[in-house]
Chains A and B, each alone.
Chain A
Amino acid sequence: MLQAVLLPNRAARVVREDPDGSLTLAVPTRKPSVLRGLGAWLVRPPRERLTLLDSLGASVWKACDGRRPVEALVMEFARRHRLSFHESRVSVTGYVSSLLRRGVLAVAVEADR
């Protein structure tokens, strides 16, 4: 996990950015197969799913630039908030895992692999 490089999902867009640093992101959703065809007339799932990040979360999301590994993000978060390495590691890796599950972040994979 520490060596992984993360970048924002290109399909995600910033819907709102508040003065306190919080962000609202919208990620397109994939329509389930049961809701295609006739089902689509009955149930209309939302085209996008919104994710609200507080200022701390937004700073982590912005730091995922596709260049630096998670370890560098952990160290930057630790320095900024005066945390030890493992305090920061648990916070950052837990948070980016939840952002990966929500599709807001993606893991960068080198083209030659």
Chain B
Amino acid sequence: MDSMTEWIWRQIGAALPPDWECLQFSRDPEAGRCAFADRYRYRFELNWRRSKGEPDFDRMMKDYEGSLAAEWQGIRRIKCRGWPGLTGRRGDEVVSRFGRWQPEIELLVEIVFIHPERRDEGLEARILGTVRAVPPEADGFQRWRAFGMDLRVPQDFTLGEAVVEPARVGLRFDGRKKPDRWIFRRYGMVDSWLKTSVRDWLESQTGEPVRHVRCQSGKGGTGNADRLEGQWRPRGLLLPRGAYAAAAWLDRRDGRLYHAICITGKKNRRFHPAHGADDVLKSCPGFLVVPEENAS
């Protein structure tokens, strides 16, 4: 476990061991969680809940202690890297829970570690030292880094859809007004299904609403990206129009095909990527950890 992989979700960042994969996630910005597992069990949870002010941690701890006493053995209070928490044994594993209020993003963040057999304090300290708030940037973009993609979307966009399947990830962010919609996808096993050039594939992904399509190839993102621009003009008098930009590229480092689509209306024109949709998406080959030959 030499390097760590950075994960940013719902404006919360953490660096985690690269072989911990996110198997559960929530889209709800108010309250939710992401759960990560190694090969055999869940190891880490990132929970959040919106809270305008700092909660009474001492009271929360007492309540927690009371409710967990029946489940956990040897429950006790701990503190790590400034995070107050509780630890105790639950069957064949040791669980540690830490909580902190992040004022920049007004979220109550709870971190849960699940250790097989015994508590690994070094690992807890190493990870808790990286958990932080990632507020929107000065230029109005919020950053997400998940499932092999590092992306930036306007700060008022919300995660409208997330599809995570083997070798196929798709995240869709919706703006407050139509047609604002940015979509990011990452595909694996490309040799098995991509039988055309990336450029032809990219063109095939545009639907009827995209008119006046212009294609170009060139350097972008992390390699040679194929780009496409056009006008978003869905059929229908009242349907709002906008600008369409898409980019796709094959990253040789992880063999994945990355695809970004930005549909931006007039109101959000300042956010529309000026140099192609690959401006707002980066591939993250560090996310892919293929099992070693001699791993047991």
A-to-B contact residues, CB < 8 Å: 56, 74-75, 78-79, 81-88, 90-91
Contacts and interface: CB of A to CB of B under 8 A. Distances in A.
A82 B291 contact: no
Given A85-B21, A87-B167, A91-B166, A78 B37 contact: no
Interface residues on B, range: 20 to 34
B196 interface: no
Main secondary structure of the interface of A (DSSP, over half): helix
Given A75-B291, A75-B295, A82 B188 contact: yes
B80 interface: no
A55 B255 CA distance: 19
B167 A86 contact: no
The 4 lowest CB-CB distance pairs between A and B, nearest first, are A87-B166, A75-B291, A91-B166, A82-B255
B23 interface: yes
Given A78-B291, A79-B291, A86 B254 contact: no
Q: Is the interface of B mostly helix, strand, loop or mixed?
A: loop
Contacts of B189: 81-83
Contacts of B86: none
B188 A81 contact: yes
B254 to A, nearest CB: 7
Contact of A82 (B19, B288, B295): B288
B291 A86 contact: no
Contacts of A79: 290-291, 293
Contacts of A84: 21, 287-290
Contact of B290 (A56, A82, A90): A82
Given A79-B291, A82-B188, A88 B254 contact: no
B136 to A, nearest CB: 30
Contacts of B37: 86
Contact of A86 (B23, B192, B255, B295): B23
Nearest to B23: A86
